[in-house]
Chain A
Amino acid sequence: GAGVSQTPSNKVTEKGKYVELRCDPISGHTALYWYRQSLGQGPEFLIYFQGTGAADDSGLPNDRFFAVRPEGSVSTLKIQRTERGDSAVYLCASSLSGGLAGYDEQFFGPGTRLTVL
């Protein structure tokens, strides 16, 4: 597709369950980012991939959160033992080179709204 896509668009789960959120970046973009946006707030950085490797995971809140990008394109954000406080919109973005050649615009997907009951 032409833009960043994320699936599912909505996910409702129960506390303690495991969830996976998927991001399909723009074809050819080497950099991929995950953000989390709570209600009424701006997005908060979680993790950044350059190719297959996590170049910066300093935003992951704790070890229940993990993300992979095994082939350098699609990425999956995984949350174990979900808690009610994990409820938020999870946004994915991609950019052409991740700023390696200077400033690089990030293109955002529509997000996955996660609700933990």
Chain B
Amino acid sequence: SQQGEEDPQALSIQEGENATMNCSYKTSINNLQWYRQNSGRGLVHLILIRSNEREKHSGRLRVTLDTSKKSSSLLITASRAADTASYFCATDPSGSARQLTFGSGTQLTVLP
């Protein structure tokens, strides 16, 4: 079963613009992770935010977490055509990364 739901399902922007994707989840979590998946390839881990953190940065990525609303957002600043991919949030209720529960993903298209 899917734990999270990403919003929007698809997003198309121009190169240089910022892209914001949202994720909502259902149960309490220990941490939440974001992954990227290029077409025909496996998933690449982007960033992890723990339940006691509210915001985290990594390069052009900014992740926020609101545990009271059970939601997270991923912001990609100054987007590039190479950022075109599907983005998934994944929750880890146990905190052990033994079983990740993924959302349905946001398909991001960055137009050159």
Contact = CB atoms under 8 A, between A and B. Distances in A.
Interface of A: 4, 31, 33, 35, 40-45, 48, 55-56, 58-59, 91, 93, 95, 98-100, 102-111
B84 to A, nearest CB: 17
A78 B88 CA distance: 27
Interface in B3-37: 4, 31
Given A106-B45, A109-B42, A110-B42, A42 B99 contact: no
Contact of B42 (A45, A102, A108): A108
A105 B48 CA distance: 9
B98 A43 contact: no
Interface residues of B, number: 26
A56 B31 CA distance: 20
Chain B CB within 10 A, most for which of A4, A43, A100, A111: A43
Nearest to B88: A42
Contact of A99 (B90, B96, B102, B104): B96
Q: How would you classify the secondary structure of chain B's contact residues: helix, strand, loop or mixed?
A: loop
Nearest to B107: A40
Given A33-B98, A91-B43, A98-B97, 14 more contacts: A31-B98, A42-B102, A43-B43, A43-B102, A44-B1, A48-B99, A59-B99, A93-B43, A103-B92, A103-B97, A105-B45, A105-B48, A106-B97, A108-B43
Given A42-B2, A91-B42, A109-B42, A104 B96 contact: yes
19 contacts: A4-B42, A41-B2, A42-B90, A44-B2, A44-B102, A45-B101, A48-B98, A56-B99, A91-B43, A98-B96, A102-B95, A103-B48, A103-B96, A104-B96, A108-B43, A108-B44, A109-B42, A111-B41, A111-B42
